[in-house]
Structure 1
């Protein structure tokens, strides 16, 4: 597949798999846009392994640890597909085509994406083995770091690589954590009913989970204030605005924002 056609195909799959990040990614400029799109597809690829209902936690652990190790060396597509062997038939397109998403990554940024993926796969493996049993705030911080805070760190590395934009690492982690905490709140009942998993520390009420989300989103607001480049600022502000509004909707007793509210928020950010 030629390089010209491929990013379009990557964007198609991205649109089908990521409601939150497809639009903000389109705000970015060429190299960053292709890197962040590819990174999200790679993350989604391993996320599908972590989430799959028909794969045992022990097998998830084994496969994700092997993927983590694989990413510590130059990427080997054959080796990756061999690792997927026992679950290959169950995996969606986004997971099977991970090697292609990496190839779509501009050369200079590929190492940043690979390093983050290796660390994320390790964290996912660890938490799959523990059946996502979150007991303490530290557990919640650890889990949300691996699945989301780490993305914030990678994005910060990419902003600096592409545009020389420097940000605060702790705020970057809170940016990812805050978005993940909103997801946990939104899916709390579903996770428990369908997967038998609770990401809520022992003894915590839903109010404390709201406070956790709010504290991290407040730091995320500080993170965004440090960004002066408009395209990157727009990218960061949209998911953050949606997270804030989703939190308010849930605090008001609604399950989620309406489609009209989402569209209005996109418009507000684009015109700001």
Structure 2
């Protein structure tokens, strides 16, 4: 797929599947924009398998393990269709069209995305296999690494490869974990009600979970200091600002921030 003709349909699906990341992705310059858009769609495609409340864990483990292996070689659409066969009728568009998101990724950066997607699918399969039975802080760190910290690592690899911007790996993982911790807090009851799953370690209350989010968002704030390219800084700043505001809202007893607050935050990032 020629970089100059990144498919408009991919951007449509991106916009429909992510309110948080669509706007900051548009801040990035071409090669990075197209790579991160593809990576988000690929990650979202496998995340839909992990999150689906109608697929049993054994099947999730099987499908995600096979997809993980598929990412280790040049993508085979026919093989992917075979792997997805047992679940395809319940899958959304973003998952069914995974091959198109891979094809749309710039060739120069595709291997970064494939490697990260393989590792993520492996981690998701591992945790599906044990019904996300998170008992300790170490378990939570492991899970949040696979589903979010890994995204921070990929982004840092891309910043360096495409723009020469070097960052600290541990802080990059903290950036991803911080955003994920806020999501876990926000969706705690819903995950329990709809999927029967808790991502909260044994004997932890929301207080410890708030502390975990604060600790990782502090790493994310530190991570931001190493970003000296404006487009990358803007990309990272919006999701982080929204996470900080959502966390504060939940500490104040609210469920989440309002649409107006989201729009105000977007405006603040643009103006800054």
Shift of 1:15: 0.4
Counterpart for residue 137 of structure 2: 137
Shift of 1:7: 2.5
Counterpart for residue 112 of structure 1: 112
Does residue 26 of structure 1 match 2:9?
no
Q: Deviations over 1:225-257 (max 9, x none)?
A: 100000000000110000000000000000000
Distance 1:3 1:89, change over 3 A: farther
Question: Is 1:149–1:177's contact at 8 Å kept on the other side of the alignment?
Answer: yes
Counterpart for residue 8 of structure 1: 8
Q: Deviations over 1:199-226 (max 9, x none)?
A: 1000001011000000000000000110
Counterpart for residue 175 of structure 1: 175
Counterpart for residue 264 of structure 1: 264
Q: Which runs of 4+ in 1 moved over 3 A?
A: 1-6
Counterpart for residue 200 of structure 2: 200
Write the mapping of 1:59-138 to structure 2, written as runs, cut at 5 A: 59-138=59-138
Identify unmatched segments of 5+ residues in structure 1: none
Shift of 1:161: 1.1
Counterpart for residue 248 of structure 1: 248
Counterpart for residue 186 of structure 2: 186
Identify unmatched segments of 5+ residues in structure 2: none
TM-score, scaled to structure 1: 0.98
Q: For 2:44 and 2:92, how far apart are their aligned partners in 1?
A: 10
Question: Is 2:144–2:180's contact at 8 Å kept on the other side of the alignment?
Answer: yes
Question: Is 2:53–2:194's contact at 8 Å kept on the other side of the alignment?
Answer: no
Counterpart for residue 238 of structure 2: 238
Counterpart for residue 229 of structure 1: 229
Q: For 1:2 and 1:91, how far apart are their aligned partners in 2?
A: 28
Count of residues paired in the alignment = 272
Question: Is 1:7–1:34's contact at 8 Å kept on the other side of the alignment?
Answer: no
Q: For 2:9 and 2:70, how far apart are their aligned partners in 1?
A: 25
